[in-house]
Structure 1
Amino acid sequence: MSGSGAPTIEVPRAEGARVAIVAAQWHPKVTDALVAGAERALADSGVTNYTVIRVPGSFELPVASLHASKAGYSAVIALGVVIRGDTPHFEYVCQATTDGLMQVAVTTGTPIGFGVLTCDNDPQALDRAGLPDSREDKGYEATQAALSTLMAVRGL
């Protein structure tokens, strides 16, 4: 949701929602900041019932998100970062993570906030992590998206 054309999304009131934040452990400065942004968005929405689940890396986010959905969480916020290296590993992990999270969302009906940064380098990741000198806060934005989707679906 960055760049030209990004929508203005208000954090909806979502008291009573049960939310799982599933976060990778790779690049802890970035992922810890993403979790903090998600927690700020949850507080702004009135959500107090949430759990942080840490997994090794972004590749593990889909399976943990699936189990969180099956455990009855209303929404899942998936947070991680994959930084391009010298091998095709970047493409494989990014594609598998994205496809896996979409599959979880579509098959379970659980809104998934996609907060997985796919960056060329460390400075790009830090600039999106929601740190004091970052331009963007993707943890916050992913939570906004998931909660907005949750409330839209609940209104059907």
Structure 2
Amino acid sequence: MSGHGAPDTAPVDCSGLRVAVVAATWHQEVMDGLVAGALRALDAHGVERHETVRVPGSFELPVVASRLARSGYDAVVALGVVIRGGTPHFEYVCAAATDGLSRVALDTGVPVGFGLLTCDTEQQALDRAGLEDSVEDKGYEATQAALLTALALDGLPEPLT
């Protein structure tokens, strides 16, 4: 399972952060688990100022994440799932969403939690969705990564202009 080697990070106080979660709607059961995991992470880290925005699919995550990152949020969490089918569509959507989310983080300086599941099967997605029978909770993990990165950035000097 891909979670092997993951750090065991206890929640820290992130109560001063303002966080946006942008989540796709395809594969409702998986997405409900990912969003619930993100909300659990926000709660565990004391984040009270947060908003969740839903978009049609994973391809739409970067444009909305970009708008949110430019709107004063300290971190953005992007959640989606793409399951391989019989056409190259999988590769195109995965690459576009991944590249777009990376670009959002680099262009804005706002951390983007990467909660985009790219799976060969629906079962793999369910195993990572943070549901009762799941072995991983990628919504929680992506949110925690964004929060901890926001705290790390807060402790760094401002970039030179």
TM-score normalized with structure 2 length: 0.94
Q: Work out whether residues 3 and 136 of structure 2, in 8 Å CA contact, stay in contact via their aligned partners in 1.
A: no
Identity of aligned residues (%): 64
Matches within 5 A, 1:139-150: 139-150=139-150
Matched residue, 1:43: 43
Q: CA deviation at 1:5?
A: 2.8
Q: CA deviation at 1:32?
A: 1.1
Q: Which amino acid aligns with 1:152?
A: A
Q: Which amino acid aligns with 1:23?
A: A
2-side partners of 1:16 and 1:6: how far apart? 26
Instruction: Structure 2: state its 5+ residue gaps.
Output: 157-161
Matched residue, 2:159: none
Are residues 1:131 and 2:110 paired? no
Matched residue, 1:91: 91
Matches within 5 A, 1:9-20: 9-20=9-20
Are residues 1:81 and 2:81 paired? yes
Q: Work out whether residues 12 and 144 of structure 1, in 8 Å CA contact, stay in contact via their aligned partners in 2.
A: no
Q: CA deviation at 1:103?
A: 0.2
Matched residue, 1:25: 25
Are residues 1:103 and 2:103 paired? yes
1-side partners of 2:134 and 2:5: how far apart? 20
Q: CA deviation at 1:13?
A: 1.2
* Number of aligned residue pairs: 156
2-side partners of 1:74 and 1:88: how far apart? 35
Instruction: Structure 1: state its 5+ residue gaps.
Output: none
| Cα distance, 1:127–1:10 mapped onto 2, change above 3 Å | same
Q: CA deviation at 1:16?
A: 1.8
2-side partners of 1:9 and 1:100: how far apart? 27
1-side partners of 2:66 and 2:124: how far apart? 29
The structure with the larger Rg is 2
Q: CA deviation at 1:71?
A: 1.0
CA RMSD of aligned residues (A): 1.2
Matched residue, 2:151: 151
Q: Work out whether residues 25 and 31 of structure 2, in 8 Å CA contact, stay in contact via their aligned partners in 1.
A: yes
Q: CA deviation at 1:70?
A: 1.1
2-side partners of 1:153 and 1:2: how far apart? 27
Q: Work out whether residues 12 and 147 of structure 1, in 8 Å CA contact, stay in contact via their aligned partners in 2.
A: no
Q: Work out whether residues 42 and 48 of structure 1, in 8 Å CA contact, stay in contact via their aligned partners in 2.
A: yes
1-side partners of 2:2 and 2:44: how far apart? 20
2-side partners of 1:90 and 1:79: how far apart? 16
